[in-house]
């Protein structure tokens, strides 16, 4: 069975966002044909869109999966619903948001799914955690993510802490089996503001 690497963006700003993100990683790891292989730390940042909402907690996770992209999206939407997400307003507050940022080298444009996610280049809260776990990350067209971070480096983004998460197994895998560990990055390339608590 072919397993591919998919990268998932996680976000939440209602309830207990840190807890919801950490539970979501466990839930993704429990999905059929999915295994989490790397997670970033937890980052806090002010909302984009409506400003009268709480700050967000964001993170990025890398998984190995044998699901098709559409099936993975359906499964992630199911986890959002299970976490109590309901639609509020465009770019509005949410219990849990799960986006497929990338799926192997695939480029998908269908009515319900665009991969790579079209907003990656503009989202500091995606770029910084993704580069934390995968400093050489590139999109299928070869564009290095690191090249975009400078342009969004003035956005406030605060590294909170490493995620509480333990990889299920360490044997050989497409990512080499090593779990990139989230530490408080002191590298301005992966953490533009270098502020930690
Ligand atoms: P969201 O507001 O992030 O929950 O996304 C709203 C809709 O965007 C979803 O119902 C998806 O059908 C669609 N969508 C398109 N591309 C993606 C993607 N790469 N990841 C997640 N959702 C996507």
Name the DSSP class of 120.
G
Closest CA to 26 of 36, 16, 18, 40: 36
For the residues 114-119, what does the mean pLDDT come to?
97
**Residue 99 designated active-site:** yes
- Read off the pLDDT band of 170 (50, 70, 90): low
pLDDT digits (tens, 9 = 90+) for 125-149: 999 999 999 999 999 999 999 999 8
- SS3 state of residue 109: strand
Distance CA 124, CA 136 (A): 16
For the chain, the structural domain boundaries read 4-187
What is the distance, to the nearest Å, from the Cα of residue 108 to the centroid of all Cα atoms in its chain? 18
User: Which entry of 55, 74, 89, 94 is annotated as an active-site residue?
Assistant: 94
Query: Does domain 4-187 fall into CATH 3.30.70.560?
Result: yes
User: Which entry of 99, 136, 179, 189 is annotated as an active-site residue?
Assistant: 99
Chain length of the chain: 197
Q: Is the pLDDT of residue 88 over 90?
A: no
What is the distance, to the nearest Å, from the Cα of residue 114 to the centroid of all Cα atoms in its chain? 15
**Residue 94 designated active-site:** yes
Indicate the top mutation candidate among 114, 119, 120, 125 to test ligand 1's pocket, ranked by most ligand atoms within 8 A of CB: 114
């Amino acid at each position: 069975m072919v397993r591919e690497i998919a990268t998932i963006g996680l976000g939440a700003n209602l309830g207990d966002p840190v807890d919801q993100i950490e539970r979501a990683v466990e839930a993704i790891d429990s999905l059929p044909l999915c295994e989490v292989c790397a997670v970033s730390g937890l980052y806090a940042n002010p909302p984009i869109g409506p400003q009268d909402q709480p700050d967000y907690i964001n993170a990025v996770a890398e998984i190995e999966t044998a699901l098709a992209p559409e099936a993975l999206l359906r499964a992630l939407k199911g986890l959002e619903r299970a976490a109590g997400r309901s639609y509020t307003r465009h770019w509005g507050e949410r219990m849990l948001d799960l986006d497929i940022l990338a799926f192997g080298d695939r480029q998908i444009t269908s009515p319900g799914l665009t991969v790579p996610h079209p907003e990656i280049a503009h989202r500091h809260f995606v770029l910084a955690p993704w580069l934390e776990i995968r400093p050489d990350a590139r999109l299928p067209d070869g564009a290095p993510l690191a090249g975009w971070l400078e342009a969004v480096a003035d956005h406030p983004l605060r590294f909170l802490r490493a995620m509480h998460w333990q990889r299920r197994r360490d044997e050989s895998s497409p990512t080499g089996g090593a779990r990139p560990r989230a530490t408080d990055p002191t590298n301005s390339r992966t953490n533009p503001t270098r502020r930690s608590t």
